[in-house]
């Protein structure tokens, strides 16, 4: 289990991370979301030891991460980077060897991953001659080439075409299924929701929510989509807040009121064609969670 | 499948990449070939000029033919070849015009003349004028009843030195200048290569990926070792070619002194390289783009330029210059100045050893400082990192 335990980091006047805590289980795909500057990259850099935390600890299998463990992590930095003038194959082999692979293993692994990711034809080309999409594939190969025990990927999907997104998703899922804890950050919330077992939301350097998408939904007030009754039917109902009011469908949030009472009120207002609980997608949950702390700050 | 990576193996992996990348680069191969070509041209030119300069052809007429033995004797004394042909005036003029003769010597006492095409070689002028003067003086003394040899003896000044003149001094001087030039070239060339390499890793952002597996100090050491080795290889290739060439052509006749100068050049290259490469690496880590590098590394050129200029312009005329002696002990100046003085034969062994000791101390200090600057600024992109900030901050 990968444990991020209460890490804090300050840059000058800015508290970039404040007691960030979460865990990722082996075999779990963990989606790390938050707005720009929320602390995703800083957290990942601390896990990789590229930055040192002011406080807190990162543990793998119960032990603090040291240089030897870090070498077995696969990393894709937010700022993509490879030697532009080095050939794809030599570059990946070099990185594999820096991660401790023997020469022969490194070569075999480079062959395996470049063909898996569809860049095996470019193995003798300089990185700078590749298209941006292919450079991304090489970058992912660089994160995978040493058969890592843990994967930490910062924005792996940004700049990928739909085919590459599918390849990337499949590879990440495979790695997770093979027992590797996978953390990745992304702004594509629908993708995160579809792909991830668990999600962590970070805002202003603090983890504001972590869990499966279903867990994030619980605790939110119940929401119901009602279609049929004319618009405005619920405006005056006690214990009910109208969130969205369309031509046919009205979304209401129940403030402790029984859904049966609302159904009766709706049927009284007109014929009801559908009456279903609304399962908010991650996008909506994210908006609610990230907006909340800002609101309380303003109120205080 | 993965084995723990020892610091030593990490450094070696980085060094090997730097070495192979650099040696296979076009700039290395072309640079080496160009330098070798310059060397070859220089040696060829040197031996050509050496074989050319002392041979002249002179025409004499019936009126000046009597001076031929005296002219030959004077030429022999100056170690020159002089071909003298007797011609009449008209034929002589024609041969000067078509280049068969360098000059035509004609006339009689009081009206001697030397005719050249558009100019007369100044050494030939002096030779003829000196001979004529000597002959005139001898004639005048003889007719006045004096013994010319006795008069000459009275006017002679003998020159003595307290210590015997070093017959190899000229060659030592050449050696010293060559050593200074080679060291200066290598230190500037490969020092800048280190700075450029650091900036390349920063600007391409690959450094973050590297530092997620190895420590900054290992990356830095590997880079310095790898590029230092390339510089050493180039230095050895150039020196070997230069030495063999110069010994073959005969510009150099002192193989022992030359070998000594080569050994000292290698030692000082290594010392100087570690000193300057660390400074160059620290300077490179402060900026994020190649364009910003020039302004940061410019100040490093000063401590390299001063001893270099000193070695090639002051030392040749004044090998025992006091300022030169003092400067050759100061670590940043020693790497070019001390081997130049040693090649000239004016630096006793104890001075060389003291300078080496001081330089090693300086290397330790500079490497620690440079590693700190590098560690603190290598991951910072964007605007240039201030030196004070780089020394203080910890990330």
Per residue in A174-188, pLDDT tens? 999 999 999 999 999
Per residue in A144-170, pLDDT tens? 999 999 999 999 988 788 888 898 899
Of A216, A241, A265, the residue that ends a domain is: A216
Strands (E), chain B: 55-60, 81-86, 103-106, 113-116
**Is residue A298 in a domain?**
no
Check whether residue A139 and residue A194 sit in a common domain: yes
- Beta carbons of A71 and B2 less than 8 Å apart: yes
Check whether residue A173 and residue A253 sit in a common domain: no
Q: How many domains does chain A have?
A: 2
**Is residue A51 in a domain?**
yes
Q: B161: buried, middle or exposed (CB in 10 Å: 19+, 13-18, 0-12)?
A: exposed
CATH of the domain at A204: 3.40.50.300
- Beta carbons of B5 and A81 less than 8 Å apart: no
Check whether residue A93 and residue A121 sit in a common domain: yes
- Beta carbons of A71 and B5 less than 8 Å apart: yes
Would you list which residues of chain B are within 8 Å, Cβ to Cβ, of chain A?
A: 1-5, 10, 13-14, 17, 21, 200-201, 204-215, 379, 381, 394-395
Q: What average pLDDT values come out for chain B (395 residues) when binned by 10 residues?
A: 74 93 88 84 74 75 87 83 88 88 88 87 86 88 85 82 72 81 87 91 88 89 93 89 80 79 88 91 87 87 87 82 90 90 87 94 89 82 72 62
CB A106 within 8 A of CB A147: no
Ramachandran angles phi, psi of B6, nearest 5°: -75, 155
From chain B, the residues in CB contact with A72 under 8 A are 2
List, for chain A, all residue ranges whose pLDDT scores fall below the cut of 50: 294-300
Task: Decide if A57 touches B, using CB distance below 8 A.
Answer: no
The token pair at B362 is 């300086």
Per residue in A40-52, pLDDT tens? 999 999 998 888 8
CA distance linking residue A32 with residue B154, whole number of Å: 105
CA distance linking residue A154 with residue A160, whole number of Å: 13
Long-range contacts of range B109-112, CB-CB < 8 Å, 24 or more positions apart? B109/B136, B112/B64
Residues, chain A, total?
300
Long-range contacts of range B238-247, CB-CB < 8 Å, 24 or more positions apart? B238/B32, B238/B35, B238/B36, B238/B39, B238/B182, B239/B182, B239/B265, B241/B36, B241/B39, B242/B39, B242/B43, B242/B178, B245/B39, B245/B40, B245/B43, B246/B43
Residue whose pair of structure tokens reads 């017959």 in the numeric block? B167
A246 lies in which domain range? Answer: 221-279
CA distance linking residue B125 with residue B111, whole number of Å: 15
Task: Decide if A108 touches B, using CB distance below 8 A.
Answer: no
Check whether residue A125 and residue A253 sit in a common domain: no
Check whether residue A211 and residue A242 sit in a common domain: no
Check whether residue A157 and residue A107 sit in a common domain: yes
Chain A interface test: which of B209, B219, B380 (most A C-beta within 10 Å): B209
Domain boundaries defined on chain B: 56-136, 169-392
Q: CA of B216: which chain A residue's CA is closest? A: A50
- Residue B395: the pLDDT is 46
Check whether residue A116 and residue A239 sit in a common domain: no
**Is residue A181 in a domain?**
yes
CA distance linking residue A151 with residue B287, whole number of Å: 30
Q: H-helix or E-strand containing B17?
A: helix B7-24
Question: CA distances (Å), B311 to each of A151, A164, B303, B308, B314, in order?
Answer: 57, 61, 13, 5, 6
Q: CA of A46: which chain B residue's CA is closest? A: B212
Task: Decide if A98 touches B, using CB distance below 8 A.
Answer: yes
State the number of CA atoms in the 13 A half-sphere of A218 facing the CB.
5
**Is residue A147 in a domain?**
yes
Question: CA distances (Å), B128 to each of A189, B21, B104, in order?
Answer: 100, 63, 11
Closest by Cα among B238, B230, B290 to B22: B230
Q: Supply the mean pLDDT for chain A.
A: 87
| The CATH homologous superfamily of the domain defined by B56-136 | Periplasmic binding protein-like II (3.40.190.10)
CA distance linking residue B350 with residue B341, whole number of Å: 13
Task: Decide if A53 touches B, using CB distance below 8 A.
Answer: no
Task: Decide if A260 touches B, using CB distance below 8 A.
Answer: no
CB A117 within 8 A of CB A167: yes
Angle at B334 between CA B333 and CA B336, to 5 degrees: 80
- Beta carbons of A86 and B21 less than 8 Å apart: yes
Residue A225 DSSP SS3 = strand
Question: In sequence order, which residues have a C-beta less than 8 Å from that of residue B63 and are 6 or more positions away?
Answer: B106, B107, B108
Closest by Cα among B197, B377, B379 to A79: B379
Check whether residue A138 and residue A250 sit in a common domain: no
Closest by Cα among B228, B181, B285 to B23: B228
**Is residue A292 in a domain?**
no
What DSSP character marks residue B13?
H
**Is residue A271 in a domain?**
yes
Q: A29: buried, middle or exposed (CB in 10 Å: 19+, 13-18, 0-12)?
A: buried
What DSSP character marks residue B167?
T
From chain B, the residues in CB contact with A73 under 8 A are 212
- Residue B50: the pLDDT is 61
Question: Dihedral through CA B27, CA A107, CA A154, CA A194, nearest 10?
Answer: 140
**Is residue A290 in a domain?**
no
Ramachandran angles phi, psi of B123, nearest 5°: -70, -30
- Residue B344: the pLDDT is 83
């Amino acid at each position: 289990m990968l444990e991020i335990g209460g890490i804090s980091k300050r840059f000058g006047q800015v508290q970039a991370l404040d007691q960030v805590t979460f865990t990722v289980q082996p075999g779990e795909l963990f989606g790390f979301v938050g707005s720009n500057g929320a602390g995703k990259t800083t957290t990942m850099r601390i896990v990789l030891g590229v930055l040192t935390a002011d406080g807190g600890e990162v543990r793998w299998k119960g032990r603090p991460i040291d240089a030897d463990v870090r070498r077995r992590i696969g990393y894709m930095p937010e700022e993509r980077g490879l030697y532009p003038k080095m050939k794809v194959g030599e570059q990946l082999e070099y990185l594999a060897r820096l991660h401790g692979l023997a020469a022969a293993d490194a070569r075999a692994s480079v062959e395996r991953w470049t063909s898996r990711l569809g860049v095996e034809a470019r193995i003798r080309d300089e990185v700078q001659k590749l298209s941006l999409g292919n450079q991304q594939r090489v970058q992912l190969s660089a994160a995978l080439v040493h058969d890592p025990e843990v994967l930490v990927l910062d924005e792996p999907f940004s700049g990928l075409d739909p085919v590459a997104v599918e390849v990337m998703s499949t590879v990440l899922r495979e790695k997770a299924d093979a027992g590797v804890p996978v953390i990745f950050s992304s702004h594509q919330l629908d993708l995160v929701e579809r792909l991830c077992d668990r999600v962590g939301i970070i805002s202003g350097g603090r983890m504001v929510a972590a869990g499966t998408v279903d867990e994030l939904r619980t605790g939110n007030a119940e929401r119901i989509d009602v279609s049929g009754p004319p618009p405005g039917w619920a405006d005056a109902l006690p214990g009910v807040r109208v969130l969205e009011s369309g031509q046919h469908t009205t979304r209401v949030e129940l403030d402790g009121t029984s859904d049966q009472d609302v159904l009766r009120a709706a049927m009284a207002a007109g014929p009801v064609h559908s009456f279903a609980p609304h399962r908010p997608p991650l996008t909506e949950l994210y908006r609610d969670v990230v907006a909340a702390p800002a609101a309380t700050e303003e109120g205080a | 499948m993965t084995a723990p990576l020892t610091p030593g193996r990490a450094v070696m992996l980085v060094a090997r990449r730097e070495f192979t990348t650099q040696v296979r680069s076009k700039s290395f191969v072309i640079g080496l070939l160009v330098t070798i070509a310059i060397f070859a041209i220089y040696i060829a030119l040197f031996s050509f000029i050496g074989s050319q300069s002392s041979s002249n052809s002179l025409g004499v007429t019936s009126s000046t033919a009597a001076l031929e033995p005296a002219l030959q004797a004077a030429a022999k004394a100056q170690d020159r070849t002089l071909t003298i042909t007797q011609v009449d005036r008209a034929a002589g003029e024609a041969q000067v015009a078509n280049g068969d003769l360098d000059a035509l010597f004609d006339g009689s006492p009081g009206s001697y003349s030397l005719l050249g095409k558009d100019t007369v070689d100044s050494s030939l002028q002096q030779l003829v004028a000196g001979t004529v003067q000597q002959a005139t003086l001898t004639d005048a003394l003889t007719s006045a009843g004096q013994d010319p040899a006795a008069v000459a003896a009275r006017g002679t000044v003998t020159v003595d030195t307290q210590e015997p003149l070093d017959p190899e001094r000229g060659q030592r001087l050449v050696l010293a200048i060559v050593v200074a030039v080679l060291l200066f070239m290598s230190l500037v060339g490969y020092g800048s290569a280190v700075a450029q390499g650091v900036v390349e890793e920063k600007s391409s952002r690959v450094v973050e990926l590297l530092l997620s597996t190895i420590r900054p100090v290992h990356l830095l050491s590997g880079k310095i070792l790898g590029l230092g080795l390339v510089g050493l290889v180039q230095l050895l290739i150039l020196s070997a070619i230069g030495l063999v060439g110069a010994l073959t052509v005969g510009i150099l006749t002192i193989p022992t002194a030359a070998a000594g100068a080569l050994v000292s050049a290698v030692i000082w290259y290594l010392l100087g390289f570690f000193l300057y490469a660390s400074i160059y690496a620290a300077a490179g880590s402060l900026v994020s783009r190649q364009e910003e590098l020039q302004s940061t590394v410019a100040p490093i050129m000063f401590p390299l330029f001063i001893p270099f200029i000193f070695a090639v312009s002051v030392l040749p005329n004044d090998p025992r210059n006091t300022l030169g002696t003092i400067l050759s002990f100061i670590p940043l100046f020693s790497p070019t100045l001390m081997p130049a003085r040693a090649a000239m034969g004016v630096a006793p062994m104890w001075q060389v050893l003291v300078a080496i000791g001081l330089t090693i101390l300086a290397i330790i200090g500079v490497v620690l400082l440079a590693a700190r600057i590098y560690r603190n600024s290598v991951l910072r992109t964007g605007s240039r990192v201030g030196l004070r900030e780089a020394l203080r901050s910890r990330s």
